[in-house]
Structure formats: C-alpha cells, structure tokens
C-alpha cells in the first residue's frame, strides 16, 4: 500500500474534494495525511485525520480588497498578496510533513504551490488537484505581459523557497492533473501531454450540521440560497433581495444560508440556517441561487438542479459562464441584482424545463467520470507498491 500527502490551502472549497479522495484512498488501504491549516482541515477530514500544520496568511483580510477590484487588478492582487505569500509560509510545514510522513505521492491543490515546489525538491511525484477550471482555460492567453509577470513571480518564488531554478509550472503537475469537472460543463481544455484527466466532482458524505428535515414539503418547490462566506453590506443586500423574491412567490419555499441573519423573526416559507448539509439537501431542492462557487455548482448539477448564479470574485465569473453555456442556469450581476431580477431568474429556471434537462445532462457526465474513485485510481498509478510502514516521526498537531 502507498502513502499519500495531501497539500491544501486554507480555503474550504479547495479542501472538500480532497476529503472525498482521501476517504476513497483510505478505504483502499492506503495511508493518507494532510499538510495545511489544521483548524480548517480537521473538521472536514474527520477527527482521525493526520494533519501536519502549515502557516498561512489571513485570507479574510484580503477578501474586502479583492471585492473592490476586478479583472487584471484582482488577479495580480490575489497572487501577490495571497497565493505567493501562502506558498512561502506553507513551505516549511510541507517540508517537515514530508520528512515525518515519508509519502510516496503528493496531491497538491493548484493554489497550494508550496506542495509542488517541495515535492520537486524532494524528488517525489505529485499530482495537481484542480478544484476549479479557471487556470486550465489559460485566462492569461490574451494578456501576454501579465503571463510574463506571473511566470517571473513563480520563478522567483521557487528560487526563494528551494534555491533551485526550474521551468516546471507549479500550477500543473508533469505527472497528473485531476480536474473535478467534465467537458459537459467546462468545455475542452488542453490535455498537457495526456496528463490532464477530468474525473468529475468528488462528493461523498462529510461531517454535516443538523437539519430540520420535516420542514421540507415535497409537494412545493424549494430553493436553496447560498453565497459562501461573503459578508458585509453586499452580501446582506443580495440575501435580502432573495428573501423578497421568494416572499413574492407564495408557491415557493426557500432554505437560506446566512451566518448573520438567523436572529431575524421566523418566516413561514423561509428557513434561515448558519450552515446546511448541502450534499444531503440538494436532492430535495428544485433550484439553487449561489455565487458560482465551483463546489456548489458541481454538487447542484450532480443532482440535476438548475442554477441562478451571481459571481462575486476570483474564478466565479468563469464558472458562472460555464453554467450559462451549458444551458443549466441564468446569470445575474451580484452587485446589481434586485428582487425583481432574482425572482424573474428563478421563474425561468423553475418553469422552463430546458434548464433542468441541461443540469441533468451535466450531472450524468459527472457520474460517468467516476469522481473520487477515478481520482484514487489515477493516483495509485503514480505510487510504488510498498509494505505498510510506521511513520518515522509525528509532528505535533498544532493549530495552523
């Protein structure tokens, strides 16, 4: 059996697919450990997960700034103030995890670049975990000067972290890139010499909060509203507009995920929760309103649920356009959509069967791709067969 180290950034959406892959690898008898933020990974991966702590910058401090800029400026801000500092901070923890756990293969999230750099330094095979398709579609192809800037930044980062010069792009493994989507949603992507494999979403049961399942009424259409961790005036305004849109349609019920709004007076057809068991809830809803986060979109489509998408930042604009191109949803402008527009979009996706039909087609492609089972099989091919062996040194599991 083999030993796999999974390296993830402090971003919930990037950890969730890896949790499913880790569970599949463990079920097959392999040893799995993590390098990342323990306080984030442990609740998702389970109490028995072995997590080697890595330092990281505060993503929350960057979010308000990225919300105020768009396009090229937002991309440069993301790299210069979050992803590159993240790699430098994580590198010592990843290096220590490799020394202690002695993995055969690393699975490295595309935004946890330290994993790729240190794997190369150690001479270990590594696979890229592409939890979103934004990088795969080469968003900088039409901006060669920006591409040159990023290439230079990554080269300098490698030199600072490892002392080496290498032309390998740490965003793409030369061995294997796992894409947690399919062409039915993403379209065609470069295969990079046959190393890119679309395995579809990796979605298995995860630790989930309680939910009042008896609140649901199967005879009435139900809408799930979830915009991730967005807070502040923009998030509150959008959620309030969703409330008004649903209230104007008495034939609908809605489950609204709002970490700040659960203290409001209850409404008969609106259930407000801080968290929901999304994977388990989706088979019971008829439409989803969301921010076009990759996990929420893929999990919805996996269950054949059409979407109203209102992208906010980062890769969400790309994912939202993919939903529209696939015919599985309607796109709105997050900062401008009012209750009338949200309501009209809901009417469209609920009343026109073409949206649900398209969602089911994409979902069928997801199931055929294999998800975490296909990902685990591809990872096994990178690993040598070895007898079980104890971990030489266990690092303390400290918060990271």
pLDDT tens string, the chain, 400 residues long: the values are: 899 999 999 988 899 999 999 999 999 999 999 999 988 999 889 888 999 999 988 766 555 455 555 556 767 888 888 899 999 999 999 999 999 999 999 999 999 999 999 999 999 999 999 988 766 766 555 567 777 888 899 999 999 999 888 777 899 999 999 999 999 999 888 888 899 999 999 987 666 788 999 999 988 999 999 987 655 677 889 999 999 999 999 999 999 998 766 566 778 899 999 889 999 999 999 999 999 999 999 999 999 999 999 998 778 888 999 999 999 999 999 999 999 999 999 999 999 999 999 999 999 999 999 999 999 999 999 997 665 656 554 444 444 4
Q: How far is residue 303 CA from its own chain's centroid?
A: 17
Q: What is the dihedral of CA 281, 284, 287, 290, to 10 degrees?
A: 0
Look-up: residue for tokens 């209850």? 266
Task: Please report, for the chain, the start and end positions of each structural domain, with discontinuous segments joined by +.
Answer: 3-200+370-380, 213-367
CA angle, corner 256, sides to 200 and 307, nearest 5? 40
What pLDDT score was predicted for residue 240? 92
CA separation for the pair 400, 10 (Å, rounded): 9
3-200+370-380 matches 213-367 in fold = yes
- Backbone φ, ψ for residue 224 (5° rounding): -100, 130
Instruction: Report pLDDT for 78.
Output: 82
Rg, the chain, Cα only: 21
Cβ atoms of 398 and 38 within 8 Å: the answer is: yes
Which CATH number applies to 213-367? 3.40.50.2000
Which class does domain 3-200+370-380 fall in? alpha beta
The confidence score (pLDDT) of residue 393 equals: 46
The string of DSSP codes covering 242-259 is HHHHHHT-TT-EEEEE-S
Question: What local confidence, expressed as pLDDT, does residue 391 receive?
Answer: 57
> Could you please report the per-residue DSSP string of 92-107?
HHHHHHHHHH--SEEE
User: What are the angstrom distances between the C-alpha of 48 and each of 270, 378, 396?
Assistant: 36, 25, 14
What's the rounded Cα separation, in Å, for the pair 400 and 396? 11
Kindly report the backbone phi and psi dihedral angles of residue 121, in degrees, each rounded to the nearest multiple of 5, phi listed first.
-60, -40
Contact at 8 Å (CB) between 322 and 185?
yes
The per-residue pLDDT for 398 is: 41
- pLDDT at residue number 400: 47
Residue 145 has a pLDDT of 74
Give the whole-angstrom CA distance, residue 46 versus residue 32. Answer: 12
pLDDT at 395: 46
Give the length of the chain. 400
CA distance 108 to 383: 15
Q: Which conformational region is residue 370 in: left (phi greater than 0), alpha (psi within -120 to 50 degrees), or beta?
A: left
């Amino acid at each position: 059996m083999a030993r796999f180290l999974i390296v993830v950034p402090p971003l919930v959406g990037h950890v969730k697919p890896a949790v499913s892959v880790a569970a599949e690898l463990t079920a097959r008898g392999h040893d799995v450990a993590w390098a990342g933020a323990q306080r984030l990974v442990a609740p998702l991966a389970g109490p028995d997960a072995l997590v080697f702590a890595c330092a990281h910058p505060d993503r929350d401090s960057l979010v308000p700034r990225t919300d105020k800029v768009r396009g090229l400026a937002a991309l440069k801000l993301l790299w210069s103030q979050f992803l590159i500092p993240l790699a430098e901070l994580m590198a010592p923890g990843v290096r220590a995890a490799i020394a202690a756990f002695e993995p055969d293969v690393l699975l490295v999230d595309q935004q946890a670049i330290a994993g790729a750099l240190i794997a190369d330094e150690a001479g270990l095979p590594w696979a890229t975990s592409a939890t979103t398709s934004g990088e795969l579609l080469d968003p900088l192809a039409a901006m060669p000067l920006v591409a040159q800037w990023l290439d230079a930044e990554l080269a300098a980062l490698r030199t600072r972290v490892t002392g080496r010069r290498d032309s390998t792009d740490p965003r793409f493994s030369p061995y294997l890139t796992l894409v947690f989507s399919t062409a039915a949603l993403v379209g065609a992507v470069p295969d990079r010499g046959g190393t890119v494999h679309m395995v579809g979403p990796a979605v298995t049961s995860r630790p989930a909060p309680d939910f009042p399942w008896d609140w649901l009424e199967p005879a009435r259409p139900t809408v799930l509203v979830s915009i991730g961790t967005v807070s502040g005036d923009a998030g509150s305004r959008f959620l309030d507009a969703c409330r008004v849109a649903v209230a104007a349609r008495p034939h609908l019920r809605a489950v609204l995920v709002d970490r700040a709004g659960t203290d409001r007076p209850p409404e008969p057809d609106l259930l407000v929760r801080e968290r929901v068991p999304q994977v388990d809830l989706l088979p019971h809803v008829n439409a989803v309103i969301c921010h076009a986060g990759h996990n929420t979109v893929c999990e919805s489509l996996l269950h054949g649920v059409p979407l109203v998408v209102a992208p906010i930042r980062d890769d969400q604009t790309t994912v939202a356009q993919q939903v529209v191109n696939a015919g599985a949803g309607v796109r709105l402008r997050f900062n401008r959509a009012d209750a009338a527009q949200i309501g009209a979009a809901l009417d469209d996706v609920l009343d026109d069967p073409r949206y649900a039909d398209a969602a089911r087609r994409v979902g069928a492609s997801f199931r055929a791709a294999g998800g975490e089972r296909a990902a685990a099989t591809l990872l096994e091919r990178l690993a040598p067969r070895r007898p079980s062996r104890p971990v030489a040194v266990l690092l303390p599991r400290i918060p990271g």
